[in-house]
Amino acid sequence: MEVLWKGGKAITVCFDAFETHSPLEVILLGKQTSIFGNWEQKNDQWCFTPVVSFTEALQYGIVREGVIVDTLVIEGQTREKTRVVATYPSADTVPENLLKVHLLFSAPMGEQYSEGFITVTNADGDTLSKTFLPLQPELWNVTHDHLTLWLDPGRIKRGLGPNLWLGQPLNKGQTYHLTISAEWKDRQGRPLETEYRRTFVAGDADRQKPDPSGWQFSIPVAGTKDPLHIHFNEVMDFSLISDCISVWQGQRFIPGDFRIGKGESSITFYPVNDWAPGRYQISIETRLEDLAGNNLIRLFDVDVGDIDSHSVTEDQIIEMEFEIGK
């Protein structure tokens, strides 16, 4: 078995031909999650290239006929230190009732709790306490390079005890600084490359549900792979955009890739195949949220007595149609 590297990333694993007399599958051990990718025969080897490059320090299993026949750990090749790639929302102004912050790292992080390495200060340099909800376990993705932080909902929701005692975490017109300490260690025990710091301002509170009827579409042309652009009427939650939107033609799922636009106010869909003439549906899960946690069927900050029990049920699907002419 051989691992091929490019740009410091493990992009392909190759097996001798005699090892592949029956179909093989690559899974992420511990999660038993199948890894999506492409198989290709190269001379006397079969090579597997995942859609997303292998992640260092994670253990993968090679499965044949339901049995793990080999394991693979990607380690020891990348020497660059882990860094904070981005934080979301990316805008400089956020609603004062902002619900979530997303931290993206260039490599898997360790098991240390984030609380000791993340601080929020105001314009005077005072450190704010109890800004984020201390969840255990924390909300990491499978590859441990994306952490979701919740600002304390009890402080955001008006009328609850924490809101009355401590006030809301952010206040309109105030400037804040988010700092991530370089002492935070990655999965290999190395501190971050450098301290990360960004500044943002709290704006007006958002107390309106997202309204897909106001979205704008740029319709592609039949016989091309032109992208489908979807422009929202507000900034949406980074982690939910791609998960909650898909494209269909009747009962047929349209495969392709989504790319989130600048400022998280749009998304672009790149189809795998050429568009055929006909009617299409954009399927939107109602759990899609804006920055304040308002989804398509209910507000995040609402008096429980005002909730219509018939309208707030399970997550639903909203479909919006568009047509591609001949």
Q: Residue 227 is part of which domain span? A: 212-306+313-324
Query: Which pLDDT score, from 0 to 100, does residue 95 have?
Result: 97
| 79 domain residue, yes or no | no
**How distant, in Å, are the alpha carbons of 26, 34, 68, 86, 239 from that of 64?**
9, 13, 6, 38, 33
The pLDDT score that the predictor gives to residue 29 is 83
Q: Which residue has the tokens 């029990």?
A: 309
Task: Clarify whether residues 51 and 127 are in a common domain.
Answer: no
Tell me what pLDDT residue 277 has: 95
Closest CA to 57 of 240, 187, 227: 187
CB 14 within 8 A of CB 47: yes
CA distances 82 to 107, 114, 141, 182, 280, Å, are 6, 15, 17, 10, 42
SS3 29: coil
β-pairing, 67-73 vs 84-88, is unpaired
With H, G, I as helix, E, B as strand and everything else as coil, classify residue 204: coil
Q: What is the pLDDT of residue 9?
A: 74
What is the token pair recorded at 100? Answer: 């979530």
Structure tokens at 282: 């954009």
Residue 124 φ then ψ, to 5° = -85, -5
Number of neighbouring beta carbons within 10 Å of residue 222? 14
**Same domain? 166 vs 226:** no
Question: Which tokens in the block code for residue 319?
Answer: 């479909």
43 CB-near residues (< 8 Å, 6+ apart): none
Exposed/middle/buried for residue 22 (C-beta within 10 Å: 0-12, 13-18, 19+): exposed
End residue of a domain, out of 140, 170, 203? 203
Query: Helices in 181-288 by DSSP H: which ranges?
Result: 238-244
Query: Strands across the sheet with 67-73, in order?
Result: 33-34, 24-28, 59-64, 67-73
Are 95 and 55 contained in the same domain? no
For residues 128 and 170, is the Cβ–Cβ distance under 8 A?
Answer: no
Cβ-contact 260, 210 below 8 angstroms: no
Domain count for the chain:
3
Dihedral angle of Cα 247, 91, 165, 295, to the nearest 10 degrees: -10
Listed residues 43, 73, 103: the one ending a domain = 73
The verdict on 69 and 9 lying in the same domain is yes
Q: Virtual CA dihedral for 33, 83, 149, 284, nearest 10 degrees?
A: -50
Query: Within its chain, how far is the Cα of 31 from the centroid?
Result: 18
Per-block mean pLDDT, blocks of 10 residues, the chain (326 long)? 71 67 76 80 79 81 80 68 94 96 93 92 93 93 93 93 91 97 86 96 96 93 95 95 94 94 94 95 96 95 55 73 91
- Give 246's strand partners: 283
317 domain-assigned:
yes
**Residue 256 and residue 226 in one domain:** yes
Is 78 a domain residue? no
193 and 140 together in one domain: yes
- Statement to judge: residues 266 and 156 lie in one domain: no
Q: Specify the amino acid at residue 198.
A: R
pLDDT confidence of residue 111: 80
Q: What is the CATH number of the domain that holds 280?
A: 2.60.40.1220
Give the three-class secondary structure for 123: coil
HSE of 298, CA atoms in CB hemisphere, 13 A:
17
The number of angstroms, rounded, from the C-alpha of 230 to the middle of its chain's C-alpha atoms is 18
Question: What's the token pair of residue 190?
Answer: 């190395």
> Same structural domain for residues 235 and 174?
no
Write down which residue in 10, 39, 73 finishes a domain.
Answer: 73
Bridge pairing between strands 93-95 and 139-140: unpaired
